[in-house]
Amino acid sequence: MMPREPEEEQNNQINQTPTGEVEAEASETEDIETLKETLAEVKAKAEANLAGWQRAQADFINYKKRSEQEKQDLGKFANSVLILNLLPVLDDFERAFSSIPPKMGKLSWLDGIKLIERKLWAVLQAQGVSPIKGLGEPFDPQFHEAVRQDKGQEGVVIEEIQKGYMIDDRVIRPTMVVVGNGEED
C-alpha cells in the first residue's frame, strides 16, 4: 500500500467527522422536538380529561344535593292534600266558637270541644302548618286572594273571609280577604 498523502488524509477526516455528527445531531434534535410535541399533546389531553372529570364530579354533587332536596320537599308536602282536607274542619271549629251564645260559654262539654280543636291545631303545627296574617296587612297576592273591595285604607286587608295557611314557606291555601279601596268610612 502506498502511503497517503497528508492532504488526502485530511480531506477524509473532514468528510467523515462532520457529516456523521451533523446527521446524529439532526436526528436527536428531531427526536427531542417530536417528544416535546407529544408531551405537549399528552399534557393537553390530560388537562382536558381532568377538567371533564371535575365537571362530571361537580354535576354529580349538584345532582345529589338536588335529589336530596327533592326528597325532603316531597316528605314535607306529601301530606298537604290531607292537611287541605282538614282545614275546613278547623274553619268550622272557629265559626262554631265565634257563634256560641255567652250563656253557653261556661259549659264543660264546650271546654272538651275546645280541647279537641287545640289538639287538631297542635297536630297541624307539628306538620309545619301556620296561618297567614291578613287583617291590617298590606295586600300581597302571594298570600292573599281578594274577593272584593270595600271602604277602607287603600291596598290594606280590612277583613278576612277565610283564613289562609302555609306549610313552612309554601302557601297551601291563600287567605280570602276584603281589600280597602281608599275611600273613607
> Would the pLDDT of 101 be above 80?
yes
Which CATH entry fits the domain spanning 131-185: 3.40.50.720, 2.40.170.20, 2.30.22.10, 2.40.30.10?
2.30.22.10
Mean pLDDT comparison of 15-19, 113-117, 179-183, highest-scoring range = 113-117
pTM of the model: 0.59
Q: Which residue has the higher pLDDT, 146 or 29?
A: 146
The DSSP string of the chain is: -PPPPHHHHHHHHHHHHHHHHHHHHHHHHHHHHHHHHHHHHHHHHHHHHHHHHHHHHHHHHHHHHHHHHHHHHHHHHTTHHHHHHHHHHHHHHHHHHHT--GGGGG-HHHHHHHHHHHHHHHHHHHTTEEEPP-TTSBP-TTTEEEEEEESSSTTBEEEEEE--EEETTEEEEPEEEEEE-S---
pLDDT score for 49: 93
pLDDT digits (tens, 9 = 90+) for 149-166: 988 888 899 999 999 999
Average pLDDT, the chain: 84
Average pLDDT in the 90-112 region?
86
Query: What are the structural domain ranges in the chain?
Result: 8-78, 79-127, 131-185
